Amino acid sequence: MKTTRRSALLVLLIALLIALPAFGAGQAESKVGTYKIGVSKLLAHPALDAAEKGMMDHLATTGLSVSYDLQNANGDISTASSIAQKFKSDKVSVAVGIATPSAQALAQVFPVSSSTSVVFSAVTDPAEAGLVAANIAGVSDMNPVEEQIKLLIDITGAKRIGNIYASGEANAVVLMELAKAACAKYGVEFVPSAISNSSEVKMAAQSIIDRVDAIYIATDNAVISALASVDDVTTKAGKVLFSADPSGVEGLNAMIAWGFDYYSIGVETGKVVEKILKGEKAGSIGTVHITDPTKFEL
């Protein structure tokens, strides 16, 4: 009887030893695909689309297994807020906001006390936008506005420069103020025209076109998304159009386009997400500023 019991115990022990590796493998497999990344993009246009693609392409090279919930707010702030709430309900691993309003909406839903990190991409001035916190990191697309204005003046000899900007976007106001300061520095007249949404862009361009020699468009999401309207106005008036977003000028008559390669910004954003998923705290990463000239396009 004892021999039989010992044999039974031995068989059971062997079975358990065989099962342990399989059990361990099952645990490892359960981690695969657990990183769910929620991506909230303010609207679809070439720059933001390129940033999104760059981020995803980089993460595809990391060996991390991730899934995405890609959302587009279509330029609507309330929709961006709803998307943020969705990500909270879905308990995403990381919430990514592409463009300032989308990132701000995420930051409101995921406060410092949240276990979810917020990553911003293509945000001009994170500090001004309230995107500095222990659970927030990302990539800034603060353009060299003064250098862009100087280039516009040097090439065209413009004495009056117009600028259309979205008064409700924090990044747009910051860029407008920088353009205004640059014009003052170089002794040219600055003619601003504010809009509240992209449907007003063409009318804004028409309202100032007779008072300017050139129009400078910064990386202002609402305006860039309707850049073709500005191009139509400047072309008919024989005036110069400068765009700080080279990705959006294909097929247009913009004389000068110099600014960030937004795919590269997306790649840098992907690197931030990677670090967070591998255990680094968002607050220790902070804001990544692009200074490498190879990340710019002319």
Q: Are strands 296-297 and 259-260 parallel, antiparallel or unpaired?
A: antiparallel
Residues 229/202, Cβ–Cβ less than 8 Å: yes
pLDDT at site 22:
38
Distance between CA atoms of residues 163 and 141, nearest Å? 18
Per-residue pLDDT of the chain (298 residues; tens, 9 = 90+): 444 444 444 444 444 444 444 333 333 233 345 799 999 999 998 889 999 999 999 999 999 999 999 999 998 999 999 999 999 999 999 999 999 999 999 999 999 999 999 999 999 899 989 999 999 999 998 888 999 999 999 999 999 999 999 998 888 999 999 999 999 999 999 999 999 999 999 999 999 999 999 999 998 888 988 999 999 999 999 999 999 888 777 778 777 778 888 999 999 999 999 999 999 999 999 999 886 545 555 4
Domains of the chain: 33-142+262-297 (3.40.50.2300), 145-243 (3.40.50.2300)
- Across 237-283, where does the E strand assignment appear? 240-243, 256-257, 259-260
Pairs from 181-188 (Cβ < 8 Å, separation ≥ 24): 181/146, 182/145, 182/146, 182/148, 182/149, 182/150, 183/149, 185/146, 186/149, 186/150, 186/153, 188/153, 188/158, 188/159, 188/160, 188/161
CA dihedral 25, 27, 28, 31 (to 10 degrees): 150
Q: What is the DSSP letter of 139?
A: E
Interhelix angle 77-90/100-109, nearest 10 degrees = 40
Query: Are the beta carbons of 169 and 101 closer than 8 angstroms?
Result: yes
Cα Rg of the chain, angstroms? 25
Burial class (CB in 10 A: 0-12, 13-18, 19+), 146: middle
